[in-house]
Copies of this chain bind each other. A is one copy, B any other.
């Protein structure tokens, strides 16, 4: 490199033709209060937040208060299909989300197991195929299975969101080798690690591997101080991205001095 290189890379992410500057997608659930949620969104610098639909509760206001809060942020909405177990359910919920949130983006979750909350890779592909045909821009929450990912691309997905570990566990990247394989084989599609990130170092690691972005919620919302944690993750994701662009050194098994060896003092004495 030469000194004419810019001190900061020009590096925007395209998702279905939209350009986003932040590589941190943030969930809106589980915060101790709406105020903290809003401060965390601001602190995170995110351009994209996830939202959902639920049955009206008697005490609720049809979500008006939540709706008003999120309008105050200049962010794109990514509605999810959390809680759906079949393609049919997910498709209906996606359509309802499109109507209410006025976006054709959909985070497609089709859960196959209520204990580990993992995707059902069969229903997922079915739903992704149909939703794409219905004009949706599908962000599928998927596993790290390369063949599954290829089927999702065949179904028309232009973004993939493999899990790091089960939702809400904070275990980080349980199988980095599988994630490395995905990245190596799917060089042109944006890959977002979704679910399981617990600490900023997990996010940094994912980004160092070449992942394009990170989506998380619990790790921020349930931190003791969600606002500082949102900022922590923002830094961690930026760190990992810059490291990927800067070209990380290769691990060695043999130590190697950093201080010059030439001219070492007292050298005759050994």
Instruction: Give residues in A with beta carbon < 8 Å to B.
Output: 1, 3, 5, 7-9, 27, 29-30, 32-33, 35-36, 39, 42-43, 52-57, 80, 82-86, 89, 92-93, 112-113, 115-122, 125, 143, 145-148, 150-151, 165-171, 174-175, 177-178, 181, 185, 198-202, 204-205, 208, 217-219, 221-229, 231-236, 238-243, 245-267, 269-270
Contact A119–B147 (Cβ < 8 Å): yes
Of B36, B93, B117, B257, which is within 8 A of A265 by CB?
Answer: B93
Interchain residue pairs with CB less than 8 A apart (14): A8-B231, A9-B228, A113-B150, A115-B185, A168-B252, A168-B258, A169-B254, A171-B253, A177-B253, A223-B247, A224-B247, A228-B245, A229-B243, A232-B241
Besides A7-B43, A168-B257, A229-B247, 16 other CB < 8 A contacts? Answer: A8-B228, A52-B260, A53-B265, A86-B269, A112-B147, A113-B146, A115-B254, A165-B177, A170-B250, A219-B248, A223-B249, A228-B243, A235-B239, A236-B239, A236-B243, A239-B239
Contacts A89-B269, A116-B255, A121-B148 given; indicate if A248 touches B223 (C-beta within 8 A): yes
Contact B218–A258 (Cβ < 8 Å): yes
Chain B residues within 8 Å of A223, by CB: 243, 246-249
Contact A231–B7 (Cβ < 8 Å): yes
Contact B264–A246 (Cβ < 8 Å): no
